[in-house]
Structure 1
């Protein structure tokens, strides 16, 4: 049964990572594909290599036995069973308390602001940061993220005829513009180019708003009736467009991954409610992780512990990667827990006993696995790259929240509340879905 559970869990994680292709960014899609290969390799090893090695070692594995210092297995299982029974006696209380705590952690996510974290967020010992600060002090924050204004001319054979002065005047009249260089005509007359310096730095929301205003308002008005086409380019402009693309695609990625995972859980466990519950609770877990990111990096709670000297936006691609990874890991825990619950349910038909037994059999393993993963993720906090710090904090927080509040509190509480309805599936849907089991 554990072998099939591993395969189903690996499939769920893979579906979450494949969802990254919906980002529309090739490199991010390839990262998802690489993760799928890694997950598949681990799953194949778990169901083939590990049993083979254990078979070869046999009873000799006990020679490496590590003595227990706290409790024997039986008493440990009993403790988890008593904990599950306590939830079963007052499920509404535990559910309400868990949701309140989760809501408080997730609340900062309402202020989530994504952007690009550039040299201005590097450690002050970096020469790139020192140069960034020197330029900002001498010429203004915007000099670190200038825009290049390009105009493709409809009639290259004509001279500028004053077009350069009117274009420059229109650019200078735009809010939040610090300076505009003289407009230059290309040697073949096909293009005009100018450098525009914003008043604010490349990480500022005002700079992103200026980019949109230039592209959608200033240039179309300045070039109206000429047939010319205006563009805004440069490193800062590319970063802003990338951020905007990711922001537009995140809802699609979430929808694709949630629907695929919902269908898989419903098919495997033959339950409409369990699939819906798993999707909703996993989304709450991710929202809580986003809340932690906002509190730490945007609001600066404990930022000094991470070696940061200023508040920074959340890197645009971090929420997307965090969603795919966390959703996959959360479903992994969910399948592991539900597979044990369903085993007992199929044997006894007693939902209360099934939930208590499933939690008692998996609680210790889930907690231990979460502790290992949190430790691994937190080790990356020492990186000098802010994006790596953000991924590390987000992943560590999400795993800790998921393995405690979600998996060991909200999941059993909701399953106790719904009783036998946990296993309800409309007859027509039961007949339509393929049969995939973890037993």
Structure 2
């Protein structure tokens, strides 16, 4: 790494210019070619996927789009209206609605409109509540904005109109600039820490450049691989957090070198050869954790993981190339005026390790390791406890914030047509013979008597639509799906060739959640083992990596517990602008697991690498722990606070998925830094003693030698 640092120092203007040229070129290609993001998600092999496949085989259009169906070439939406004073079936209302529906029918991409005033839509009107709706069938690639505009043009004081359903559901896309708040907060923290505007700006500039270059590349790559628009948000969220932190560690080490009296060039080389190595190693663990998501085998998730991994890679490259070049240009200006003045006088090197809060905290943990361990475990247990009650699924419009279009649509439909109006299940059957046909007819009659079923209607040949009495996100609807699959349908199939498969939006959500959560233990085990092996190779130890891996799992549980309490229990979700409590979207736990594990490894590497550096030179375990904790506390606290600010800024995006990821990661990082890395880990290592650094001879012979912390060139702390 020192060779790279010297090369960047000599060619600092070429390196900085190269990054500028790369950014301009990527921007030109991305803006010229546009993007090709897709929000489609391939369903895993499941019962709901089988139902959709059977329906596609048996019907060409009549069953398309039912109940959130996937895999067809049409989608359905709903236009609902409510009349205040005039009857919903009066001649005047009918005339106004006919004009509105005619405008909708003329929009390109609209294939059919079913009016409640026609025989086919007779069930779509409730005269008692003054509410009715029309079903709109659109081509899957149709632009729904003109349809929405045509419908809402009729909205007046006495005639409320809303749109909803699958066709009009809004997928979360790129962020809306909320990350700027996190960047500003990070800049303030860095200014307070370094007392230098240039030193504060460098981590921000390096992180932003790395993220910008990677996101432009992701936009270009969307033409080649399937990526969701949320990949940009995911990349920005992870990239800004780690990018600023990685640069911060290197800048902090460089400043310490300057304050110790080293020349600028040598200080940059030392910083890259120590903290730079740790940055590369830590970033590699994050990338490994992200790419480990491929084991869940879900396109939209692996696409987001790829985008985030590319972003982390670019932030590493920026930290080890662009940052040294910028440090070379600035010279000693990364120090405060007071520090530069002290160096210019030729006085003794400025004290780097002044007694302070970090030293006092390290001494406290050293004196009372048992109490520190107990307190940390108690905090972790309390925060992680809600995870035992986590429910995974899709949130529906009933939990959206009041005043949003989706909630307004729900508030019109639910009183008139029941809470389950938009949670219909799709039952598709294989009917090979007359006996099976008779059994299917009997099943249709039985379904109407099943608790939790509001209505049953034909949905084409050998298919039924079952409307629950409850909304899609409730436990009651999930229980109904399981009751149909485990009890009602098997009883109807018994002794016949009839086979019935349950699909629809609630069933699809259950199948997706089961598929992902079923692979979560495998994913956890995979990244835990990889993390253990990486740390074992780096620190030539068995217990340090083991403690690190187990503590990483504890941090993951804290993140998931906080996520459950806020977004499922609803403890503060309204303040975030995402509505009331609802099940946790199935993508979020997997993302939290992968990202938190990688970020926890970051802090473990930076903390333990300094301890290991001191242990290598003194063979004093207590001293190594105290010195490592004292010298890394400030930068870990600053890094975690910066990451919290960046993640929390995404938490206020107003989109449930993005907000959930941001808040979950933010709380996990905060607890990981303050409770786990700065309290639990040093306390446990103090209790374990010299065995921390024990490594079998056979393992030492077969594993490669990797120096994370590099050669130690700084003087150790004096005293014990």
Q: What is the TM-score when the length of structure 2 is the normalising length?
A: 0.57
Aligned to 2:132: none
Q: Which is worse superposed, 120-129 or 344-353? A: 120-129
1:137-173 per-position Cα deviation (integer Å, ceiling 9, x unaligned): 1121111210111112225xx6986455312023224
Residue number among 70, 85, 92 corresponding to 2:370 in the alignment: 92
Counterparts of 2:440 and 2:535 in 1: how far apart (Å)? 62
Residue number among 319, 329, 340 corresponding to 1:56 in the alignment: 329
Q: Which is worse superposed, 225-234 or 13-22? A: 225-234
* Long gaps (5+) in structure 1: 186-191
- Matched residue of 1:221: which SS? helix
| TM-superposed deviation, 1:215 | 2.7
- The structure-2 alpha-carbon separation of the partners of 1:77 and 1:174, relative to structure 1 and needing over 3 Å to count, comes to farther
Residue number among 451, 473, 482 corresponding to 1:212 in the alignment: 482
Residue number among 341, 349, 365 corresponding to 2:619 in the alignment: 349
Counterparts of 2:441 and 2:379 in 1: how far apart (Å)? 59
Aligned to 2:404: 126
1:243 and 2:519 correspond: no
| TM-superposed deviation, 1:272 | 0.7
| TM-superposed deviation, 1:240 | 2.0
Counterparts of 1:2 and 1:366 in 2: how far apart (Å)? 13
- Matched residue of 1:32: which SS? helix
| TM-superposed deviation, 1:247 | 1.7
Aligned to 1:199: 469
Residue number among 431, 450, 468 corresponding to 1:174 in the alignment: 450
Residue number among 671, 690, 693 corresponding to 1:420 in the alignment: 690
| TM-superposed deviation, 1:66 | 9.6
- Matched residue of 1:428: which SS? helix
Q: Which has the higher helix share?
A: 1
Q: Which is worse superposed, 236-245 or 192-201? A: 236-245
Aligned to 2:583: 313
- Matched residue of 1:264: which SS? helix
| TM-superposed deviation, 1:268 | 0.8
Aligned to 1:189: none
1:282 and 2:556 correspond: no
Residue number among 487, 500, 503 corresponding to 1:233 in the alignment: 503
Aligned to 1:148: 426
Largest Rg, 1 or 2: 2
Preserved CA contact (<8 Å) 2:431 2:437: no
Counterparts of 2:564 and 2:438 in 1: how far apart (Å)? 48
Q: What is the TM-score when the length of structure 1 is the normalising length?
A: 0.91
Preserved CA contact (<8 Å) 1:271 1:425: yes
- Matched residue of 1:115: which SS? coil
Counterparts of 2:442 and 2:681 in 1: how far apart (Å)? 64
For residues 248-263 of structure 1, the aligned pairs below 5 Å read 248-263=518-533
1:385 and 2:663 correspond: no
| TM-superposed deviation, 1:329 | 0.5
| TM-superposed deviation, 1:308 | 5.1
- The structure-2 alpha-carbon separation of the partners of 1:160 and 1:331, relative to structure 1 and needing over 3 Å to count, comes to closer
Counterparts of 2:566 and 2:351 in 1: how far apart (Å)? 38
Counterparts of 2:355 and 2:614 in 1: how far apart (Å)? 15
- The structure-2 alpha-carbon separation of the partners of 1:354 and 1:37, relative to structure 1 and needing over 3 Å to count, comes to same
Counterparts of 2:289 and 2:354 in 1: how far apart (Å)? 33
Preserved CA contact (<8 Å) 1:121 1:386: no
1:44 and 2:314 correspond: no
1:301 and 2:301 correspond: no
| TM-superposed deviation, 1:2 | 1.6
Residue number among 297, 301, 306 corresponding to 1:24 in the alignment: 297
Regions of 4+ moved over 3 Å: 59-67, 72-79, 158-164
Aligned to 2:538: 268
Counterparts of 2:385 and 2:317 in 1: how far apart (Å)? 40
| TM-superposed deviation, 1:362 | 0.8
| TM-superposed deviation, 1:217 | 3.2
| TM-superposed deviation, 1:119 | 2.0
Residue number among 120, 139, 144 corresponding to 2:417 in the alignment: 139
Counterparts of 2:646 and 2:484 in 1: how far apart (Å)? 44
| TM-superposed deviation, 1:309 | 4.9
| TM-superposed deviation, 1:251 | 1.1
Counterparts of 1:230 and 1:280 in 2: how far apart (Å)? 44
Counterparts of 2:337 and 2:398 in 1: how far apart (Å)? 51
Counterparts of 1:322 and 1:206 in 2: how far apart (Å)? 27
- The structure-2 alpha-carbon separation of the partners of 1:75 and 1:424, relative to structure 1 and needing over 3 Å to count, comes to closer
1:20-65 per-position Cα deviation (integer Å, ceiling 9, x unaligned): 1111212211211221111111112211221122223323545888
- The structure-2 alpha-carbon separation of the partners of 1:218 and 1:361, relative to structure 1 and needing over 3 Å to count, comes to same
Aligned to 1:188: none
Counterparts of 2:514 and 2:410 in 1: how far apart (Å)? 24
* Long gaps (5+) in structure 2: 1-273, 341-349, 711-720
- Matched residue of 1:231: which SS? strand
Preserved CA contact (<8 Å) 1:270 1:424: yes
- The structure-2 alpha-carbon separation of the partners of 1:401 and 1:161, relative to structure 1 and needing over 3 Å to count, comes to closer
| TM-superposed deviation, 1:81 | 2.2
